[in-house]
Amino acid sequence: MQEARSGPGGGCILRYRPRIAVTVAAVGLAIVAVALPAVTGSHLPQRVPLNAATPTASLWQLCRDGSAATSTQPSADDSAILQSYEQSRTACDRLVDTSGLRDRDLVEALLDRADLLAPGEKDSYARALADYKRAIALAPDVAVAYWRRGKAHLLYGRNLPEALKNLDEAVRRDSSQAEFYITRASILSWLGQPNPALADLNRALSRDPRSVHALTNRAMAYFNNGDITRALADFDAALHLAPNDSGLYALRSAARRQAGDEAGAKSDEAKMAELMFGKAP
């Protein structure tokens, strides 16, 4: 999900908002926070030839697009994904290593490259953490840098204590950002702290009442707490704001079924299939 260009924390531009991934299990709804948004093959960065004459503006666009396009729908073309990733990584490397960027421009490039590398494992993850560390050393006042590093730690549940530490710092430096609280709520949920997680989702919605991300997370939190009535109210509110989100229909169908509304659950499942495949099952 793309976000506004004016980012929190001292001028560094926030490149993307995270999309939520969820698991609908027989025992309930499990919140699984994902650091980077999913894209389909049609949303991959446009490939352009890279050479010594490639303008910096083109490098910026490729690097930024790539940092937001790191996970894909199953239908995406794997070879196209890999080619686009490699091109974006090359663009990010050029920006950081040979373009002479300084100050906040360098910070932004480091964060974009880190976001691109973060979903990888071992060396890729280590390089991402090195870029986040370098960016924060250059601009320790940029709250969004801590948020982005925290999400990298949260991805796959890799390092939850460090993720929480970074989100606490992001919130300390800029308490106005709803997404900071949403991400911290996901961490707290992973850590088995449902009440503090719910409190953070309430804080997020007090800052952005129209946040589909926060409404969806809070609905799942209510569901897991057995409060199906409030869960359904939040799913309804989220779908009012995002009526074409197939995942939301899947989630509400589970809540409706738990509430004994089998007809409503089947209706949501049919709508989900229509949005995903163009027809009802």
CA distances from 133 to 17, 93, 100, 130, 268 (A): 21, 16, 19, 5, 44
CB–CB of 211/178 below 8 Å?
yes
Exposure b/e, 115-154, CB count within 10 A at least 16 = b: bbbbbeeeeebebbbebbebbbeebeebbbbbbbbbbbbb
The whole model's pTM is what? Answer: 0.78
Q: Give the chain's length.
A: 281
Amino acid at 33: A
Question: Tell me: the pLDDT tens digits for 105-160?
Answer: 999 999 999 999 999 989 999 999 999 999 999 999 999 999 999 999 999 999 99
CB–CB of 204/179 below 8 Å?
yes
Phi, psi angles (nearest 5°) of residue 20: -90, 140
Q: Considering only 72-81, 237-246, 260-269, which range has the smallest mean pLDDT?
A: 72-81
Is 39 in a helix, a strand, or coil?
Answer: strand
Question: Tell me: the pLDDT tens digits for 49-58?
Answer: 445 556 778 8
Q: Considering only 19-33, 232-246, 261-275, which range has the smallest mean pLDDT?
A: 19-33
pLDDT over 90 (residue 27):
no
The pLDDT value recorded for residue 68 is 62
pLDDT over 90 (residue 196):
yes
CB–CB of 241/19 below 8 Å?
no
The pLDDT value recorded for residue 99 is 82
- Nearest-angstrom CA–CA distance, 155 and 153: 6
Instruction: Sketch the domain layout of the chain as residue ranges.
Output: 53-65+77-159, 175-280
What dotted CATH number matches 175-280? Answer: 1.25.40.10
Spell out the alpha helix ranges (H) of the chain.
Answer: 56-68, 78-98, 103-117, 123-138, 143-154, 160-173, 178-190, 194-207, 212-224, 228-241, 246-258, 262-277
